[in-house]
Chains A and B, each alone.
Chain A
């Protein structure tokens, strides 16, 4: 039992007759980074709320760190750190005060919290901002403070709900680097995201969700290999229907998303030959990624 951090069995949840999570089962091993990937409305946030005991499931069984949830969610939360999707720091407080106030919510004494603060500030690269008010911090700093705050109780498990949404690329990379450090220290992470790059970089395993159901599960690269397994050509600019007819014989599969034609071809050169001389087209060749997996499985792109 000790090497399983999260176990969901047949979990369902509906709001107003709308099924948000539909008979979901998955297991997260201790020390692993598990990703919940899917478009907005796929049920990702509802799953994290259920794991935290903040939404009771209609059916199914949830066990977190060996404790049944929501029955013993309060105890489980004592060993969990949470980075929420929306900023809920105390904006009128300083960085240090945020950590102090939050530590008290875990029953920590002032001296325990003050002993932990220097390490947390260093981890979040906020040493020089200890006495700055939160509303003077940049978006990336606020998110790092949220991450530091989530670590105040030295949790075994981190629940991250879209941890880098809204951050610029530099700030995002810094968060990813910090998260990898936490994984190296043996923390377990469950992460929701709609950035495939984030999932590919961080997750040991992930599941792709759509309509509250798992439509694929596995290691990122195995999933890409198994579902796509060949290079991708992205073609912009032409009439998608006409292009499809033109290149169809040379492609394993073609998907159209908006004005872009995604052409999956084990021999992309042959496709390029067909398109040669078409000045109106832009053609990009790249390795397959999780976005392609998602597009293949749902026929839609992830952002929608």
Chain B
């Protein structure tokens, strides 16, 4: 049904901004708490693992362990903040707050809403990832100016994980189901994706799986940028993250149309 698809797709290239601005206004009211909450967790990991474990493991891939870990923590925090923004906050706006229902009565389409939510989640990922980069840079663990290449990668990582989480959200009957996504998908990805140790440490079967994970593509782009090394297969990794953004977007639009506009 062509008509049905039109309702699930963005109506134009700018409608989503109204949704983004709604979320920005809500976030502004609680910004300080939100930033601290977003930052605390990955920074604790960075310092606890970086210093604590770093003393024992010594240099990794020719860098200090904390410098190695910094890129992993930037990617991981982009992953978690985009995911949590989608599965908890956006799900709340769809499910219990009924904000989406109000928006669907206006000139925006479901696709505009989804795009606005993805852009907002990517913004949150950008804030979280950049904040860690800033801290790591102040402490001298990143290379400048090549670290600037990391910024668009963080945004793309945010889009990819927001888009994946949108599919999870579209399928979840309630908040209770998200824990499965966190424990069965995100946590293993943190280790298989090379965020905390080099993937070469893993048995080769796991390495093969790990290569396809979106976090691995993000880490493979971020680590060379932050360590000031030349990147490898940059086009491939960017392409993979784009696929992880675009395909789930269409899938979530189809699923949400069935759910919200039956």
Residues of A within 8 A of B (CB): 15, 52-56, 70-71, 73-75, 77-78, 80, 82, 84, 86-93, 97, 101-102, 104-107, 153
Contact = CB atoms under 8 A, between A and B. Distances in A.
Nearest to B21: A104
Given A84-B101, A105-B107, A92 B26 contact: yes
A151 to B, nearest CB: 13
Contact of A88 (B7, B102, B260): B102
Interface string B64-103: 0000000000000000000000000000000001110111
A53 B261 CA distance: 9
Contact of B7 (A73, A82, A86): A73
A105 B261 contact: no
21 contacts: A54-B104, A54-B105, A56-B1, A56-B3, A70-B3, A70-B4, A70-B7, A74-B7, A74-B109, A77-B105, A78-B107, A82-B105, A84-B98, A87-B98, A88-B102, A90-B97, A101-B18, A101-B25, A105-B103, A105-B106, A107-B107
A102 B25 CA distance: 12
A23 to B, nearest CB: 19
Contacts, number: 76
B18 A105 contact: yes
A78 B106 CA distance: 6
A84 B261 contact: no
Nearest to A100: B25
A53 B7 contact: yes
A86 B100 CA distance: 13
A176 to B, nearest CB: 22
B11 interface: yes
A221 to B, nearest CB: 32
Nearest to B109: A74
A75 B98 CA distance: 22
Contacts of A92: 26, 29
B108 interface: yes
